Chain A
Amino acid sequence: MIDGTRVIDYHGHVGRWERYGMVDDPELLLGAMDAVGIDMACLFHIFHPDGTTGNDLTAQFVARNPDRFVGFAYVSPTMPDRMVPELERAIDKLGFPAIKLYPPYTPWPFNEEPWHPIYEFAQDRGLAIIFHTDHFINSRPRYFEDLAPAYPRVNFVSAHCGNVPEARAEAIAAAQKYPNVYLETCSTYRTPGVIEELVEKGGADRVLYGSDMPLMDPRPQIGKIITARISDKAKRMALGENAARLLNI
């Protein structure tokens, strides 16, 4: 809690990637979260294309601290027959409220046909999907302009907001055109003025704080919001109010 606002980190991972210092030790995550008042974190496991393996690990991780962590479902179109059944299992049985997709681990841009069964599923259920986005061909935020009007019940979240200026501009443009596009803030590129730009151009009601923990520590990432030249109202929306609305919590 920060000044009465429940803080929700919209971007975190389960899984280990030791060569980059990424260790999913719950005590490490909770210690960093507690140090800055982060109440809850959304987590997903993206290292298993079958979806099931990672989703089960996510569910186990969340079950140890269900008041602090929320699991998201992960699937990959590289195993197309498993996508929808695994989504049904993850949403209905594991209780995950949203979906994470990672286009760099596939051969396809995320507006192409192999991804659409996921979007149809999310449209039926009215779910949010968070996508890794960047400036490479599979992950361009401009694809939201194809998807957002076609699947109006889905909320599309641009993780990292494209990371670099050219892709960030695409994410902002999509958010300006469609009310179901959101802008998530975590990035190893902590360019000055980015948070201000997202709030001013995309709208404070579309910005979601995320950290990418445990690949990155949530503290400098939340520091981007706290030290930005935006209003307290915009900070509260980005830190938790928008995420709570998106997740119905």
Chain B
Amino acid sequence: MGHILHGLSLRVAEGEVVAMLGRNGAGKTTTLRCITGLNPPRRGEIRYQGRSIAGAPPHRIARMGIALVPETRDIFSYLTVKENLVIAQRARSRWRMETVLGRFPKLAERLANKGRELSGGEQQMLAIARALLTGPELLLLDEPSQGLAPLVVNAVMDTIRGLKAERVSMLLVEQNAEMALQLADRVYVIDHGTVVFEGTPAALRAERQVTATYLGVGG
């Protein structure tokens, strides 16, 4: 299999929400997996708080304060919702069980259910809640709104705004371009494993050709 990423450079400053938009297969998920150590990069650097982390084992990267909400959710299907959350809780995290359950009341209703008994959307909420309980300093979100009812998308957006106020840095991959543009400070558009646009949401909206493809405007 060939290279997926081709000289992709991006940065996330402390307290920034950075969005990655792009077609499926463009390399967005691969980028997140490189950062978390799940896919070591063939070449290039990944620096977190000044330290090189490329190729470091995922558990070590997680302990540095980087959390991932994967597109595939990857919750523990044989553990209950409560167990999934309890094992994620870190002492240092300001997020506790009550706060995440307050954000996603549906999870409170399903605490005793095993992960595999949850609907797709409920699993998505659990994946987000679990990442929050680890108290991340850098939160990577891979299509967090996928499969979520509009009201829950609102809750996710509120959560992201709340995290930003706490100076949590976020790298957000979203197909819901409108959602991403409302939340992001800066946006990268990725195509064929490289950056084809970098700028503010306003600047992206002004790029007619790019907006036609990524915002579904015109076309």
Task: Tell me if chain B binds chain A.
Answer: no
Residues of B participating in the A interface, judged by any CB pair closer than 8 Å: none
